[in-house]
Copies of this chain bind each other. A is one copy, B any other.
Amino acid sequence: MLDMVEQKKLKKSEAGEELTTMQTKLIDLANAVKAAKIPVIITIDGWAAAGKGSQIAKLIKYMDPRFYNVEPIRIPNEQEKRKPWMHRYWMKLPKQGEFLILDGSWFSDTVKSYMHGSIDKDGYKRRIRDINTFERQLRDDGYLIIKLFLHITQKEQKKRLDGLASDEFTRWRVDAHDFENNKHYDKIFRRYEKTLAPTNTEAAPWHIIPANDKFTAQFEIMRIVTESIEGACAAKEKGTLYKMPQEFPAAQPESDDTVLVKRKKLAEIDMNKSLTEEQYRRRLKKYQDRLFELQNICYQRKIPVIVAYEGWDAGGKGGNIKRVASALDPRGYEVKPIAAPEPSELARHYLWRFWTRLENDGHFTIFDRTWYGRVMVEPIEKITPQERANMAYREINEFERWLTDWGAVVIKFWINIDKDEQYRRFKERENTPSKQWKITDEDWRNREKWDEYEKAVDRMIKLTSTDIAPWTVIEGNDKKYARIKALKTICERIEERLGL
């Protein structure tokens, strides 16, 4: 793509007026973005010394600083290295109506990591796939992504580096490494080309900016930014900004290498499993001791473990989680109860609030309810349209793929009880003073929709039971049996991951 770029030079006398018009328009467009609640991400990549910083400064001169945030992308810090590589980009997502402007991005991050040798060829390929997925997921959620690449020639780069190095105020910004890279301009050029091509997608196309001439670069950036925003506002008004799936269910696109694994429907499960008190005691001790040992190994090897609990109301999630938690060294896990999202969470991609809750590698993160609310309670309670929720099967599989690529063991439980057992437990809660806080009218209302929920659960399990993150349905009528099965499954999945 870079070789197609002509390093043109616009004249201020000719284009200056048009630039001023666009700058004025940007002020209105920022208000329109706020009104339309469109979150906007602008990434500025390009050659060292291409003027990324100063172009950002010129761009934001016409924007309200309360509604944008500029973030430089550097080498990941110690903390960031303990999370999936895209975690830091998820963390920075802007709210609806606000701007995130990145100096550098997941693109340059990937190119640099590969050229420095911190990722290998396979890792590089996976990152390209991750970038495509990430950008598509955001676009599908209504994000506008504007990707700019500032292109300068080798000669121009040399000239600028010399300039920076000779000024006492800017000297610290360049080092021997930059000059070395300038000598290897051709090699870097080829790597840029090879990375630009597969990341030039409909969801987030590239805009190559000829940047030898600063005024021309400024003009082109302003043109692309204003045009893109105008386009997005118009699309939002027409209702075409969100990308609805062509067909249902959109769970398994051809590009995915995730394999679905078969699971029984809830109705086919034998719910008569139970344990005696004696069996329970012995196995509880056995698996809790084992889990403690395994946690120790995971901690030392920095393997993250994600345990996701879903299940019927009164299914016994709380008590089950307690038995898992009490086996663990408390400094190495955290339980995350998932309630209704807060305003700042609603203003971002729905997976954001799960990204923010990931513990470091080597730790356990236990979710009490999860991202699967998106395909169960949200469409059933009409919080999210069914068509939008349908897109989540694929997105969730991709999310879990990110987790397993990070090295995580992802364990998902559906705690199943039958309808009679739920009734019994609801009644017991109502009749036990210390348990009354656990039962609300909402529980009874949800119960009325049992069949609808069962259908949604069957579909969820069918479409998101993958080889990397399979569902385990737990027969929960007997709490003892359920607890042992959960503990045993966690142990086995970790052992499998550790190759034990």
Contacts and interface: CB of A to CB of B under 8 A. Distances in A.
Interface of A: 28, 31, 35, 53, 56-57, 60-61, 64-67, 69-72, 77-79, 101, 103, 169, 172, 293, 296, 300, 318, 321-322, 325-326, 329-331, 334-335, 337, 342-344, 366, 368, 434, 437
A26 B169 CA distance: 62
A329 B57 contact: yes
Closest 5 CB pairs of A and B: A70-B330, A65-B325, A72-B331, A65-B335, A78-B78
Contacts of A335: 65-66
B342 A60 contact: no
A330 B101 contact: yes
Contacts of A325: 60, 65
B321 A65 contact: yes
Contact of A321 (B66, B69, B330): B66
A330 B296 contact: no
Nearest to A67: B337
Contacts of A293: 169
A53 B337 CA distance: 24
Contacts of A65: 321-322, 325-326, 335, 366
Contacts of A56: 330-331
A56 B330 CA distance: 7
Contacts of A172: 300
Copies of the chain in the assembly: 2
Given A31-B437, A300-B172, A437-B31, A66 B318 contact: yes
Contacts of A329: 53, 57
Contacts of A79: 77-79
A337 to B, nearest CB: 4
A99 to B, nearest CB: 11
- Could you say which of A322, A330, A337 has the most chain B C-beta atoms within 10 Å of its C-beta? A330
A337 B343 CA distance: 15
Contacts of A67: 337
Contacts of A434: 28, 31
Contacts of A31: 434, 437
B78 A331 contact: no
Nearest to A319: B64
A82 to B, nearest CB: 9
A60 B169 contact: no
Given A66-B368, A300-B172, A331 B71 contact: yes
Contacts of A334: 69-70
A66 to B, nearest CB: 4
A293 to B, nearest CB: 7
A337 B67 CA distance: 8
Contacts of A296: 169
A53 B342 contact: no
A255 B345 CA distance: 42
Contacts of A366: 65
Contacts of A66: 318, 321, 335, 337, 368
Nearest to A327: B57
A32 B61 CA distance: 54
Contact of A331 (B28, B70, B300): B70
Nearest to A78: B78
A305 to B, nearest CB: 15
Contacts of A61: 326
A322 B293 CA distance: 56
Contacts of A337: 66-67
Contacts of A64: 318, 322
Given A61-B326, A66-B318, A67-B337, 13 more contacts: A28-B434, A35-B437, A53-B331, A57-B330, A60-B326, A65-B326, A65-B366, A70-B334, A78-B79, A169-B293, A169-B296, A342-B343, A342-B344
